[in-house]
Every structure is written in structure tokens, then in C-alpha cells.
């Protein structure tokens, strides 16, 4: 690693019960977010030494890792604190490192947390940067609290984006349910065609299929009726 980089901004980003440190570094006329890895290892309950070796074995991670002078807070008993050099990865490579951690090999109580980090941590940190929480000196929440035209426009745009996201998710769910319902309807038609043949007799397996299909169709129709009320 080269000489420790000094961040222009350091912030703590809330991620469920954890607070992930993120720093803004100017590298070759570009600003880039870096994340200290050891605190994340502590949150996830994985061995730091093993992860350090794994990072150095990976050609991409090894060439991207940087030592950054991160300001840490003292522990509850007053030890530590101050500026320390910490191993950091660019945010864009954080998922690559996280996906190298096998959730099936850790303690059961930590599996869901690791999966949550793999699924969501990048988006949370990236969105925090996009919203200015990592770049502005003035509190972004304070700016939004102001009754300025810009603040009102931002709130309206954020509300529209949230509604559009919910609409997209709802349409995707409805599309999936509609496809499943169509499959069950086709099965019922096939069974009805079979029953219409005097030479055919219903089997226990067919009876079970009919019962399940009827229950599923009734359930879906019930849900659609409630949504339309």
C-alpha cells in the first residue's frame, strides 16, 4: 500500500443497527467513496486476518485497497480513538468483497446479516453519497427542513420517485400472480376436458390437482376483490 490517504469528508452512515464509516477521497482529480473493511468484519463476525489475506490474494481487490487516515471514536472504557490508518476498499468494489463471504459457513445467527449486507449495503452507501450526506458541510436534513422552493421541489421529486418504485414493484407482483393464475386455469381446462370424456375416470392425483387449483383461484380472486374495493 502507498502512503495513507487523508479524506476530505468522513461520515457515519446508518445501516440497520450498524453505523458504517464512509470517507470521501480525492484520487487523480476524482472523488471516490472508500469504506474501512475491518469495522465491517467486526459487524459481520468474520475473522479480519482471514479477510485481509483474501483481499491480498485477489488481483483486483489487492490493487484497489488503500490505507486511509480514519478518525475513530474512543471505546466505552476510554481506550483508542483519534486518527488511525485503516485498510479501505472503494465502494464500487465492496460488493465483490462481500460476495466472497459464504453465508453458509458462518454462525446461523449471522447468516441473515451477511445476506443483508450483500443485498443492500452498496445501495445505502451510494444513495447517501448521491443525496449529499457525504459531501455537504451543512446538514442535508436541515436544508430540507427549510421552506424554500428548492426544498419543496426536492421533497416532491422524492415522493414521486417513491411512488413510482412502489408502482413498479406492485406491477411486477401482479404480473407474477397473473401468470400463476393462468397456469392454474389451463390446468383446470385440461382436467375439465378429460372429465368430459366418458371413457376417462378421475384419479386421486387429479382430484388433488382440482382441489388445489380451485383453492388457488379462489384465493387470487379474493385478493383481487379486496384490492378493488
Segments making up each domain of the chain, as ranges: 9-136, 159-228
Contact 37, 47 (CB under 8 A): no
pTM of the model: 0.54
Q: What gap in Å lies between CA 180 and CA 30, rounded to an integer?
A: 49
Reported confidence tier of residue 54, pLDDT bands at 50, 70, 90: very high
Residue 157 makes CB contacts below 8 A (sequence gap 6+) with none
User: Which residue would you say has higher pLDDT here, 18 or 183?
Assistant: 18
Q: What gap in Å lies between CA 180 and CA 186, rounded to an integer?
A: 10
If you compute the radius of gyration of the chain from its CA atoms, what whole number of angstroms results?
27
Grid cell 382436467 is found at: 191
Q: How many residues does the chain have?
A: 229
Reported confidence tier of residue 22, pLDDT bands at 50, 70, 90: very high
Contact 144, 43 (CB under 8 A): no
The answer, yes or no, to whether residue 226 has pLDDT greater than 70, is no
Query: What pLDDT, in 10s, does the model give residues 117-166?
Result: 999 999 999 888 775 544 444 456 667 677 788 877 877 887 788 777 77
User: Which residue would you say has higher pLDDT here, 168 or 15?
Assistant: 15
Amino acid at each position: 500500500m502507498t502512503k495513507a490517504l487523508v479524506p476530505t469528508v468522513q461520515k457515519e452512515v446508518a445501516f440497520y443497527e450498524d453505523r458504517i464509516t464512509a470517507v470521501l477521497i480525492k484520487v487523480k482529480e476524482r472523488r471516490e467513496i472508500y469504506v474501512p473493511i475491518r469495522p465491517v468484519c467486526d459487524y459481520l463476525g468474520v475473522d479480519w486476518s482471514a479477510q485481509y489475506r483474501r483481499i491480498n490474494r485477489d488481483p483486483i481487490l489487492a490493487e484497489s485497497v488503500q490505507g486511509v487516515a480514519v478518525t475513530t471514536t474512543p471505546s466505552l472504557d476510554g481506550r483508542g480513538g483519534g486518527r488511525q490508518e485503516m485498510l479501505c476498499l472503494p465502494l464500487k468494489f465492496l460488493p465483490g468483497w462481500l460476495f466472497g463471504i459464504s453465508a453458509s459457513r458462518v454462525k446461523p445467527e449471522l447468516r441473515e446479516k451477511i445476506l443483508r449486507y450483500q443485498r443492500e449495503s452498496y445501495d445505502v452507501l451510494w444513495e447517501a453519497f448521491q443525496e449529499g450526506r457525504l459531501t455537504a458541510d451543512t446538514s442535508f436534513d436541515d436544508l430540507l427542513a427549510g421552506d424554500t422552493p428548492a426544498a419543496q421541489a426536492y421533497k416532491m421529486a422524492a415522493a414521486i420517485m417513491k411512488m413510482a418504485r412502489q408502482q413498479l414493484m406492485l406491477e411486477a407482483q401482479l404480473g407474477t400472480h397473473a401468470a400463476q393464475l393462468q397456469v392454474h386455469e389451463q390446468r383446470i381446462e385440461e382436467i375439465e376436458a378429460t372429465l368430459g370424456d366418458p371413457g376417462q375416470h378421475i384419479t386421486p392425483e387429479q382430484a388433488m390437482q382440482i382441489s388445489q387449483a380451485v383453492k388457488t383461484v379462489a384465493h387470487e380472486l379474493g385478493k383481487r376483490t379486496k384490492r378493488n374495493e
